[in-house]
């Protein structure tokens, strides 16, 4: 089954259709975003989530941002509406760099078109064309990541993954999960352990759902079980996605990824990160500069809206949504261009400047 998490419907007057990931695995339903406000809410509440999918959705959000500008208002009014929409959407979530990357890319392209004398109608077309380009490039980047990474998966392996880096998290069919889908297609037999990924359970709800659809052997474990599985020899590789990769290779991903990297190092298990080049942020030197999203206590107190609180009233809750895995603990980063073994600043620059 092809999962399409993000889809633009129609032309410049169209709307954005998203799989509502808050409802999975119980219900597979879509929602329509017809305004930047609706999209902001969808990103903030994780109806759409995963770094590449957020970036793609944000690109289309700018098409929505121009829909209320009248043709007669002129290009300057359109550029102002675009700037406002960028600023507003940039405030939806802070860690995944794909969001800011996509907004910047669409804005730069539109400003260039305006400087060349385009009218409002032409600017709308430019925004949609650039958002479409980001979408299609993401599909292709995913495909190539899968092809470049499947060799790391071999027969008989146990593979651990965290959070969800699948079709739901991208415009294509995933990053880390596409590596697994590709290996499966080649007839390799392996078992995937999906960390449940507290507090929002993206591993249990989404990754397990996707892998099951694909017919891959998947077992969900609680996050605190990973070390013991490694000790027992059940895990031979760890593979995750990424939300932002700093110039030195330090990688932000879902909270809990850092702990896995330390466990993998201790047990001498390779640790792979699969991510498109849009997830690299060369403007920051190391992971220390990556902004980490803090989310509400409610997500921990009442996971997925549970009626009974899991924490006594009046007790403090700390809920960072991401952590940073150090480059030295990453065996390789798999991108659409190939593989960066033992990533460091020099290898990353060289890799990203290759064609
Ligand atoms: O909070 P989320 O669900 O958006 O976090 C997503 C992740 O951490 C993913 O692993 C990451 O975005 C990579 S998705 C290809």
- Tell how far the Cα of 123 is from the centroid of ligand 1, in angstroms: 31
Q: What is the pLDDT of residue 2?
A: 83
CB of 165 closer than 6 angstroms to any ligand 1 atom: yes
Percent share of the chain, pLDDT over 90: 98
Quick check: bond before 143 cis, omega within 30? no
243 is catalytic: yes
Active-site residue, from 138, 195, 223, 243: 243
pLDDT tens digits, 207-261: 999 999 999 999 999 999 999 999 999 999 999 999 999 999 999 999 999 999 9
| CB neighbours of residue 153 within 10 Å | 21
Cα 121–chain centre separation: 31
Assign 75 a pLDDT band (cuts: 50, 70, 90): very high
Q: Do domains 6-144 and 150-352 have the same CATH topology?
A: no
SS3 252: strand
> Could you tell me the distance, in angstroms and rounded to a whole number, from the CA of residue 76 to the centre of ligand 1?
36
- Asked: is 6-144 a CATH 1.20.120.420 domain? The reply is yes
Q: Tell me the C-alpha to C-alpha distance, in Å, between residue 168 and each of 142, 207, 311.
A: 12, 9, 30
Confidence of residue 354 (pLDDT cuts 50, 70, 90): confident
| DSSP state letters, 223-248 | GGGHHHHHHTT--SEEEE--SEEETT
Q: For residue 325, report the distance from its CA to the centre of ligand 1, in Å.
A: 14
With bands split at pLDDT 50, 70 and 90, how would you rate the model's confidence at 78? Answer: very high
Q: Which atom of ligand 1 is nearest to the CA of 254?
A: 8
Q: Which of 99, 164, 209, 323 to mutate to test the pocket of ligand 1 (most atoms within 8 A of CB)?
A: 164
Q: Which CATH class is domain 150-352?
A: alpha beta
Angle between helices 51-66 and 75-90 (to 10 degrees): 150
Strands 15-19 and 6-9: antiparallel
- Provide mean pLDDT across the span 307-333: 97
Give the pLDDT of residue 24: 98
Q: What is the mean pLDDT of the chain?
A: 97
Distance from C-alpha of 236 to C-alpha of 267, rounded to nearest angstrom: 9
Q: Where are the domains of the chain?
A: 6-144, 150-352
| Predicted local distance difference test score (pLDDT) of residue 306 | 93
The reported pLDDT for the residue numbered 26 is: 97
Of the candidates 195, 325, 337, which has an alpha carbon nearest to the alpha carbon of residue 275?
A: 337
- Quick one: which atom of ligand 1 is closest to the CA of 253? 8
* pLDDT value of residue 355: 72
Q: Which atom of ligand 1 is nearest to the CA of 51?
A: 12
58 CA distance to ligand 1 middle (Å): 15
Q: How far apart are CA 33 and CA 48, in angstroms?
A: 11
pLDDT band at 1; cut points 50, 70, 90: confident
Q: Is the CB of 49 under 6 A from ligand 1?
A: yes
Q: What is the pTM of this model?
A: 0.97
**Ligand 1 center from residue 73 Cα (angstroms):** 39
- CB crowding 179-193: b at 16 or more within 10 Å, else e: bbbbbbeeebebbbb
Given a contact cutoff of 8 angstroms between Cβ atoms, the answer to whether 247 and 348 are in contact is: yes
Distance CA 162, CA 256 (A): 8
For residue 96, the ligand 1 atom closest to its alpha carbon is 12
Residue 210 sits at the vertex; the CA angle it makes with 208 and 212, to the nearest 5 degrees, is: 65
Tens digits of residue pLDDT in 105-121: 999 999 999 999 999 99
Query: For atom 15 of ligand 1, which residue has the closest CA?
Result: 165
């Amino acid at each position: 089954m092809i999962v399409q998490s993000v889809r633009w419907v129609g032309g410049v007057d169209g709307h954005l259709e998203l799989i509502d990931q808050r409802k999975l695995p119980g219900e597979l339903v879509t929602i329509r975003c017809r305004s930047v406000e609706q999209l902001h809410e969808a990103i903030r509440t994780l109806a759409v989530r995963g770094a590449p999918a957020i970036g793609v959705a944000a690109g289309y959000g700018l098409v929505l941002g121009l829909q209320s500008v009248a043709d007669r208002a002129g290009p300057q009014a359109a550029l102002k509406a675009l700037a406002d929409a960028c600023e507003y959407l940039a405030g939806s979530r802070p860690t995944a760099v794909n969001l800011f990357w996509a907004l910047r890319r669409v804005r730069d392209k539109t400003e260039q078109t305006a400087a060349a004398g385009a009218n409002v109608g032409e600017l709308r077309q430019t925004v949609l064309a650039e958002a479409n380009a980001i979408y299609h490039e993401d599909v292709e980047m995913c495909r190539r990541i899968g092809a470049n990474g499947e060799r790391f998966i071999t027969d008989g392996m146990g593979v651990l993954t965290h959070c969800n880096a699948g079709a739901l998290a991208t415009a294509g069919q995933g990053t880390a999960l596409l590596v697994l889908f590709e290996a499966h297609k080649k007839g390799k037999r392996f078992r995937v352990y999906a960390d449940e990924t507290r507090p929002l359970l993206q591993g249990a709800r989404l990754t397990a759902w996707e892998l099951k659809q694909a017919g891959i052997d998947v077992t969900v474990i609680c996050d605190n079980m990973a070390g013991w599985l490694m000790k027992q020899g059940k895990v031979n590789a760890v593979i995750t996605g990424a939300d932002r990769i700093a110039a030195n290779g330090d990688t932000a991903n879902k909270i809990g990824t850092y702990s896995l990297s330390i466990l993998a190092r201790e047990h001498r298990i390779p640790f792979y990160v699969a991510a498109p080049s849009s997830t690299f942020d060369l403007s920051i030197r190391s992971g220390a500069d990556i902004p980490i999203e803090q989310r509400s206590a409610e997500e921990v107190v009442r996971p997925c809206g549970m009626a009974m609180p899991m924490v006594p009233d009046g007790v403090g809750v700390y809920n960072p949504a991401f952590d940073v895995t150090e480059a030295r603990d990453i065996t390789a980063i798999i991108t659409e261009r190939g593989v960066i073994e033992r990533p460091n600043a020099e290898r990353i620059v060289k890799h990203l400047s290759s064609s």
